[in-house]
Structure 1
Amino acid sequence: MHEKISAALGLTTFLASFLPWLEVSVSVTGLGSLGGSSTNAWGAGFLAWFSVLLLIANGAYSAMHTLISHVPAIDRSLVGMVAGVAALAMILLRWVTFPAGNSVATTSAGFGLYLGLVVALATAAVSYRTFRQSDATLQSLKDRLVPPRP
């Protein structure tokens, strides 16, 4: 089930990447609003588009292993947790580093950014839940990945 949810979250991320992530509106006192513009994740800077790529890659990884081969659940859930937390941190960092507005132009986060935050959080949460259901710990994962010293 985790794989299907992660694949759906990857697809949702892809769609969200084309929605507005950064919005700019221009207004002049006495004249009112003169218009505005927006950009999607692909034009909002490295942190925006790289976080999108992480979440899409995680969804594709989950879908691939659902359709092609069997991989232990702990491995997929750990990849999902890392991708989700990293993407969440990058999106938040991108949000707080948006250009500051001034008396003429104001900047704000668009719907795509909010959706990206929700998807990143959901990816991390679903993966964490799967990790915990597998009765695994980080120590057991380390024991599997790092060979014992002779």
Structure 2
Amino acid sequence: MRALVQRVSEASVSVDGAVIGEIGRGLLILICAMEGDSDAQSAALAAKIGKLRIFKDDAGKMNRSMVDVGGQALIVSQFTLAADTSRGNRPGFSAAAAPDEGRRLYERFIGDIADLGIEVAAGSFGADMAVNLTNDGPVTIWMAI
């Protein structure tokens, strides 16, 4: 699985102009299931993100996790994280999981994050979404399992 994690002071996702998910302080997690991914990858990536120490402590150092600060997570499916740009100018997405498996793993990942005690909001798998965020820092981290 691949994820692009952004530390945010607030974020929301809308479909057809209606907000379907929003959070305050926490992480916006753009997530993509790759061909061959399993439940084990979902659980491992969720655990790693939950423990990722990218929030400031009292000394101003990135030393606290989302769990430590009581942060929220906005999780949005984004198959374009599977983009292969090695040939030509048009990216290919054949490395992404098939839609049914991608949806299943996306929903599994949402559950895996929630199981860490993190409040979760989510986008709508496969929908054309508008994502708004205030990137805090900015802090943006690319992750893969």
TM normalised by structure 1 equals 0.29
Structure whose CA Rg is larger: 1
Which of the pair has the greater relative contact order for Cα pairs under 8 Å at 6+ separation?
2
TM normalised by structure 2 equals 0.30
